[in-house]
Amino acid sequence: MKDIQNQEDLYLLVDEFYKKLLSDDSISYIFTDVVKIKILEHLPILVTFWSQAILGTGGYTKNLTQIHLDINAKEHLTPELFKIWLNHFYTTVDENFKGQKAEQIKTQALSIATIMQIKIAQEKGKKM
């Protein structure tokens, strides 16, 4: 099995990952009912994000934290949802890639999930 090497690899990863998310009823509603993502528009944005994070290509300009805080304002993003998200992400990486970049992207995903949960908790604290 090869390591993540380029944007084509990242596209395969996010495409397979979203297939898992969208077929899991415990989390799919976030993407289909709350956010109503347009998957064909969303995947290239995710590829750009992960390409910047893992391959150093740049190009991602959105505020990842604010996007998730906005979603959380519509539907609480619970720790359980983050666990499901991470589980599907790790599984997808492990099914398709092996190597330093594959491990790096899993570590980065855990870091992002952790930071998002902290930011959501801080936002909740501000409103009390």
Which pLDDT does position 127 carry in this prediction? Answer: 66
pTM of the model: 0.94
- pLDDT, tens digit (0-9, with 9 covering 90-100), for 12-41: 999 999 999 999 999 999 999 999 999 999
Give the model confidence (pLDDT) of 69-120 as tens digits: 999 999 999 999 999 999 999 999 999 999 999 999 999 999 999 999 999 9
SS3 string, the chain, reads CCCCCCHHHHHHHHHHHHHHHHCCHHHHHHHHHHCCCCHHHHHHHHHHHHHHHHHCCCCCCCCHHHHHHHHHHHCCCCHHHHHHHHHHHHHHHHHHCCCHHHHHHHHHHHHHHHHHHHHHHHHHHHHC
Return the pLDDT at 83.
98
